[in-house]
Structure 1
Amino acid sequence: MSDPVLVGVDGSEASLAAVDVAVREARLRGCGLRIVHAFIWPLMHVSLGPAQGGPAGGGLRHQAENVLEDARARARALDPRLEIGAELVTGEPLTVLARRSRDSCLVVVGSRGLGRFGALLIGSVAVHLAAHAACPVLIVRGRPEPDGPVLVAVDGSGVGAEALGFAFAEASARRVPLTALHVAHPSASLPGQEERALAEAIAGRRDKYPDVELRSELIEAHARPALIDASRAAQLLVVGARGRGGFAGMLLGSTSQAMIQHAHCPVVVVRHEEQPAQAPAPAG
């Protein structure tokens, strides 16, 4: 059985939107969906049952079970034929989702969640998972252009090559064009060098995905603002966790972090692994 798509939920509107995206991704891959709600309160040694004199259906555990059931019902309504598993796990959300990613093909999370520090969730859950998950991570944010292409950042690195492979598979499954964007720093380019790097990056991919209309673009600009601007017209942006200019000790580069925080469409961060994660099957 193929590894499922994993989605983390917390009851927020952002996490329910993530369920919608996760259902679509599972359908594209022909795999199941696993919904996980991390339940941290048992670790805090607080009462989980209803308050004294309160309604029988009250309490933190019942609330957590409702969060999970609401997400499962939403997924089932979107695709009744999809195999759906739901799991209430005791633990801290970052740790739980990173651990569950080991046997998942994709993790989907919302960009913001519940709680007093909800505005900081994008800096905790999304960035942490993008750096530490064992499979690609899709962060649901912005407003995707429904008819837009899949956009992938290409830089000639090993990480960028895996991001490109993932993007080809995603474009094929979605039946939309793929834009491979190579952003060359104006002061660092050598004549012909960047063109060769772009050509080498896409070489061979067209044979594997002949159905994908590829649009390759090379522009001289600063990477972060150029990608953010290009994401306005895309339905999905794919980036590597750490690109050619990153430091070896950094698990998530500054460009990837900027896309997670500022892109105008959902973002997938792909890490370099010895065994690439499962991608959508080519359309056919």
Structure 2
Amino acid sequence: MTARRPIVVGTDGSPSSLQAVAWAAQEAALRNSPLSVIATTFVPGAYGVPIGMPESFFDDEERNGKNRLAAAAEIAARAVPGHSLDIHTTLCTGTPAGELLERSKSAAMVVVGSNRQGIIERGFLGSVSAAVATHAPCPVAVIHGLPDSEVTRLEGPVVVGVDGSAHSEPAISMAFEESDLRQCELVAVHAWSDVDLPVHYEGGSVSGWKQVVTQETALLSESLAGRAEDFPDVKVRTMVVMDRPVRNLREQADNARLLVVGSRGRGGFTSMLLGSTSRALMHSVRCPLLIVR
């Protein structure tokens, strides 16, 4: 029997990373997959030796790393009461992004918090979440720590962005799967603002407008075709709007439990690993964002 691929999550002890751990635990329980929790520690040689740093510093770092993992394992277990979750913890010596990317090669999903803290994480330029979302071959969930509630308690539908390109196909499939696992509604949003409109005013109306709306609606229906048969219990609501995708998806995410998008859209360059829409949403939505390559 083939072992299930794990859900991998990183923790640095920050509130957002601990909410990411809880969310990852629930995802692992829904999929009956193991949960792999990793933390990083500062070691000599990996980052250079700080001048004047006492020898006890590295012992303290290792102890703090183990404490962070123990706390994360407790939070993971509490997030899925009554479920015997298979939890593995690992204290790593590489960079946070590097360790997560290495594990993403064999993971079902990587989960990251959007904020970082601690001497190790502050020492790296750039964002761990952005680096992992850009380069990981598996789906990446970006979790924003909510100051007024727990991200695991969010309600509402799963929302998926559909642009009609091949890049959104895996995201659509993943969104159906997530909705089915959570037994909630799926909202498929096709926001378009990059088509040529046959604009011709006749008595104040726009000629051809209905034709464009019909074409875009058909494009959305075509993109969703076939999934309903695979997930008959998922109720699907469609939305077709003329708007910039980032703005509309951000609005829909305000009342969603999960937003699913492709890594880049139909307007993205071939060399662009993470599109402008997914990159913008990663820094602006309140609910968990799942980026599917």
Q: State the TM-score bracket (shorter-chain normalisation).
A: 0.7 to 0.9
Deviations 1:194-246 (A, max 9, x none): 12210110000100000000001100011111111111111100000011111
So what's the TM-score if we normalise by structure 2? 0.84
Q: Which entry has the higher C-alpha Rg, 1 or 2? A: 2
The one of 255, 267, 282 equivalent to 2:277 is 255
Deviations 1:135-191 (A, max 9, x none): 100011265683310000001112201100000000000000000000011753562
1:129-208 correspondence to structure 2 within 5 Å: 129-141=132-144, 146-185=154-193, 188=196, 191=212, 192-208=214-230
Alpha-carbon separation, structure 1, partners of 2:90 and 2:54? 17
Are the counterparts in 2 of residues 153 and 181 from structure 1 also a CA contact under 8 Å? yes
The match for 1:31 is: 33
1:1-284 correspondence to structure 2 within 5 Å: 1-42=3-44, 43-46=46-49, 50=56, 59-79=60-80, 81-115=84-118, 124-141=127-144, 146-185=154-193, 188=196, 191=212, 192-271=214-293
The alpha-carbon distance between structure 1 residues 173 and 123, as it changes in their structure 2 partners (threshold 3 A), is: farther
Deviations 1:239-276 (A, max 9, x none): 000111111110000000011000121100000xxxxx
Residue 41 of structure 1 and its aligned partner are, at CA, apart by 3.0
Are the counterparts in 1 of residues 10 and 38 from structure 2 also a CA contact under 8 Å? yes
Equivalent residue of 1:262, what SS?
coil
Are the counterparts in 1 of residues 156 and 257 from structure 2 also a CA contact under 8 Å? yes
Deviations 1:47-105 (A, max 9, x none): 68526xxxxx9621111111112112222333461001001111011111011011110
Counting matched residue pairs gives: 266
Contiguous gaps of at least 5 residues in structure 2: 198-210
Alpha-carbon separation, structure 2, partners of 1:140 and 1:229? 17
Aligned Cα RMSD in Å?
A: 2.5
So what's the TM-score if we normalise by structure 1? 0.86
Residue 123 of structure 1 and its aligned partner are, at CA, apart by 5.5
Are the counterparts in 1 of residues 113 and 145 from structure 2 also a CA contact under 8 Å? no
Equivalent residue of 1:41, what SS?
coil
Contiguous gaps of at least 5 residues in structure 1: 52-56, 272-284
Identity %: 37
Equivalent residue of 2:169, what SS?
helix
